[in-house]
Amino acid sequence: MHTNEARILVIDDHPVIHDIFALVAESIGSTIVGSARTLEEANNAIDNLGSTAVNIVLMYCNLAEDGKEGYGLTRRILAEHPKVHVFSISSDPTMAKDLGISSLGTSPDEIRTTIESL
C-alpha cells in the first residue's frame, strides 16, 4: 500500500493523542476518513467501516475510563473487518499483540514509519 492510499479512522478519547494521530497520518499524505472521540462515536464509525473504505485504524487501546473498551473495539474491528490494519499505542503490549494489532508504537515517528512501510 502506498501512503497516499492509506484511508484512516482515528479513534481516541484524549484530544492530544487523537490530534497527534491525525497530524502524523496527514503529514505523510494519508486521508483521514473518520474520527471518533467517544465510545459511541467509535462504535458508529466501526458500523460504517465498510462504506468508508478505511484500511487503517489508529487508536489507543485504553479508550474509555475503565481502560478496557479499546480492546473490545479492536476485537470487533478485526472480527468484522479482517483486512483493516489496526495500529495502536497500548499500555499492555502483550494483550494488544494477542488481539492481532498490526503494530504497536510508542511514538508518532514509529506510527509514521509503520504506515509508510505498508
53 or 100, higher pLDDT: 53
Q: Which one, of 44, 73, 80, lies nearest residue 59 by Cα?
A: 73
Sorted by where each begins, the domain ranges of the chain are 3-117
The CATH superfamily holding the domain 3-117 is: Response regulator (3.40.50.2300)
Query: What is the per-residue pLDDT across 37-54, written as a single tens digit (0 to 9) for each?
Result: 888 899 999 999 888 888
| pLDDT tens-digit readout, 52-99 | 888 888 887 665 545 556 778 888 888 999 888 888 776 666 766 677
Longest CA pairwise span in the chain (Å): 36
pLDDT category at 26 given cuts 50, 70, 90 is confident
DSSP string across 54-85? --EEEEETT-STTS-HHHHHHHHHHHH-TTSE
Cβ–Cβ under 8 Å, residues 26 and 53: no
**pTM for this structure?**
0.78
pLDDT value at position 9? 93
